[in-house]
Amino acid sequence: MNQGPPATPEASIEEADARRAVGAVWIDVREPEEWVRARIPATYHLPMATCLDEIARKWPDRTTSINVSCATGARSAYVTKALIDLGYADAVNVVGGIRAWAIAGREVATGPE
For residue range 84-97, list pLDDT tens digits in order. Answer: 999 999 999 999 99
Beta-sheet strand order (sheet of 91-94): 10-11, 91-94, 66-69, 25-28, 44-45
In a domain? residue 26:
yes
Mean pLDDT, the chain, integer: 95
Q: How many CB atoms lie within 10 A of CB 32?
A: 10
Q: What is the mean pLDDT of residues 47-68?
A: 97
Alpha carbon distances (Å) from 86 to 18, 56, 94: 24, 9, 19
Quick one: pLDDT at residue 1? 52
The reply to whether 63 falls in a domain is: yes
Read off the pTM.
Answer: 0.94
The C-alpha atoms of residue 66 and residue 20 are separated, in whole angstroms, by 8
Examine the pLDDT at 113 and tell me if it is beyond 80.
no
Q: Minimal CA–CA distance to 77: which of 4, 6, 3?
A: 6
Contacts (Cβ under 8 Å, ≥6 apart) of 48 = 29, 30, 31, 70, 75, 78, 79
In a domain, 53, yes or no: yes
Handedness of CA 95, 100, 104, 107 (dihedral sign): positive
- Containing structural domain, residue 53: 10-103
The domain tally of the chain equals 1
Q: What is the CATH number of the domain that holds 82?
A: 3.40.250.10
Mean pLDDT of 107-111: 95
